[in-house]
Structure 1
């Protein structure tokens, strides 16, 4: 995907009816733009098709009307009347308010609790938007997603056995491949022993509107409260998936300190109760060796190096005691 010059960013913003006096590129496809009167907006390229974006917009407008704080358009304002515009390159852009504040810190249990509360409120408000047909649902895809990712890991292990990578990487994967696959198999076994089958057969009852990629970078804290931002991955799923994403993204860089997850879960439970099956389903995703999978991909933030593979495996091993603590938490609550 291409980046845009200053002139082209101004032209895209003009389609929303705003004039840009200052701008800066935040990262690929995201620009912060400022109007002459000092108002700030986020201009973001969306990779979704127009029909999917219309659905996301409809869902988020409903959630917003029901209370939760979101960085999304306000249709009562001139710049918020258009849900999206299309650039001269045919790419879709949305304009949302720029939320000033700070990212929550996993080192602050108060921040993490606030994230749990905000996520629960989002789920509660989004639940009432799911009327009629259930669209863009990933509730039934859990088996196939885990299976596809495990197959990918197996192919990489087979390549390592054939010494297709550098010698240190091939040897590391040969030595630790069975352990990595054991974690993947444990995740699938956990899924089979959960109530997932009955949950997937009742999407109307069990599905919620999911953010899809929650974590510290997708919440903003300020004097008004806790905002959710960045909605490209919004879909329908089980709430356990969203909780897993927030827990994973908050804990992976902090040596799987369970107090972080506890604060998130405590906050969530302030708004709504969690069931035994919810905890089981969170454990499914946490047990799958996702960090190792990302390094093997390679995911651009995790280079495919021996040191990264060691870091990932260390992470998977820490999750074992983390899951034990999650089970104890579930028993208490």
Structure 2
């Protein structure tokens, strides 16, 4: 949904910020420049007010522990309000625009920095959750994987009925069994892990998780490595956040294990990981998520033959990648 410049200016004004320039970055995200040259991010949050207030409490606590975050500073005039509502009732937050660059998966030092920043976030998040354990997704892993499995299964059934174009129908018929096998392997890995113990003891194992870590959600500058974009913030296991950053960093780089190794090395500079956590990461990585995204109504990844081939190549590369991850885990776990 496109908003007018006047509407954006009006929302910024509610935060006490005058707008000299504005630029739409993507849907719901705008860069705001004030007459004095200060720069902010005005972002629509797809969550309710209660969730945003919880996110705000958690992030302010985490920042007190030293994590670098793009979030409001309540001591500044523009940071006095957690959120503001548009005329249509949409929730917007105003955060500092962090100057710097996005990390590159080709730069292993960048990836180590991201791993260390995520670890510091998790360590600070444990403290932040004391007495405020909410929005946990620790118990949802089986349901999520099974729902996605059924979704892919339904698409394969449609291909057998020739619902799609001839090339797509043929491709899914030819490779459907292989794709579904990867999905079953993911659930088998989860079954053989310590997941059930974790979900029975969520307060013991849960941490504050970013939810969608990857190169696009970190900013590097002279101060260090910042985390940005917190609409997916929730409580989960550390392994889920590590899976997300590894997936998002490796999927477009032929699953080069050196990228994942750098992330994990950086993480381990701050804290240790145990063998069961590596297995949980493997379970998520083995699920054919790239194929799921192509088959889903996800605008950024269209349902085309080119993308289907890309996804299948990705799923196949994950097998050898997981073998390397197992070897890494054997020598780098507590």
TM tier relative to shorter chain: over 0.9
1:128-187 per-position Cα deviation (integer Å, ceiling 9, x unaligned): 111225210000000000000000000001000111111110010001000000000000
- Which residue of structure 2 lines up, in the alignment, with residue 252 of structure 1? 251
CA distance in structure 2 between the aligned counterparts of 1:295 and 1:22, rounded to whole angstroms: 36
Displacement of 1:306 after TM fit? 1.5
1:4-34 per-position Cα deviation (integer Å, ceiling 9, x unaligned): 2111111100100111111111111111001
1:250-309 per-position Cα deviation (integer Å, ceiling 9, x unaligned): 000000000000000000000000000110000000000000000011321111112211
Displacement of 1:114 after TM fit? 0.1
- Which residue of structure 1 lines up, in the alignment, with residue 77 of structure 2? 78
Secondary structure at the counterpart of residue 133 of structure 2: coil
CA distance in structure 1 between the aligned counterparts of 2:109 and 2:316, rounded to whole angstroms: 27
Is residue 146 from structure 1 mapped to residue 145 from structure 2 by the alignment? yes
CA distance in structure 2 between the aligned counterparts of 1:72 and 1:50, rounded to whole angstroms: 16
**1:134–1:203 CA contact under 8 A, matched in 2:** no
Q: 1:154 to 1:237 in 2, by over 3 A?
A: same
Is residue 68 from structure 1 mapped to residue 67 from structure 2 by the alignment? yes
| Greater Cα offset, 85-94 or 212-221 | 85-94
CA distance in structure 2 between the aligned counterparts of 1:187 and 1:4, rounded to whole angstroms: 41
CA distance in structure 1 between the aligned counterparts of 2:283 and 2:5, rounded to whole angstroms: 45
- Which residue of structure 1 lines up, in the alignment, with residue 41 of structure 2? 42
Secondary structure at the counterpart of residue 66 of structure 2: coil
- Which residue of structure 1 lines up, in the alignment, with residue 298 of structure 2? 299
CA distance in structure 2 between the aligned counterparts of 1:133 and 1:117, rounded to whole angstroms: 25
1:59-101 per-position Cα deviation (integer Å, ceiling 9, x unaligned): 0010011100000000000000100000111111000000000
- Which residue of structure 2 lines up, in the alignment, with residue 240 of structure 1? 239
1:195-217 per-position Cα deviation (integer Å, ceiling 9, x unaligned): 00001111111000000000000
CA distance in structure 1 between the aligned counterparts of 2:86 and 2:169, rounded to whole angstroms: 45
CA distance in structure 2 between the aligned counterparts of 1:268 and 1:132, rounded to whole angstroms: 26
Q: 1:280 to 1:61 in 2, by over 3 A?
A: same
- Which residue of structure 2 lines up, in the alignment, with residue 137 of structure 1? 136
Q: TM-score, normalised by structure 2?
A: 0.98
Secondary structure at the counterpart of residue 68 of structure 1: coil
CA distance in structure 2 between the aligned counterparts of 1:13 and 1:90, rounded to whole angstroms: 15
- Which residue of structure 2 lines up, in the alignment, with residue 268 of structure 1? 267
The aligned runs of 1:1-333 (5 Å cut-off) are 2-132=1-131, 134-333=133-332
Q: How many residue pairs were aligned?
A: 332
Secondary structure at the counterpart of residue 194 of structure 1: coil
Secondary structure at the counterpart of residue 272 of structure 1: coil
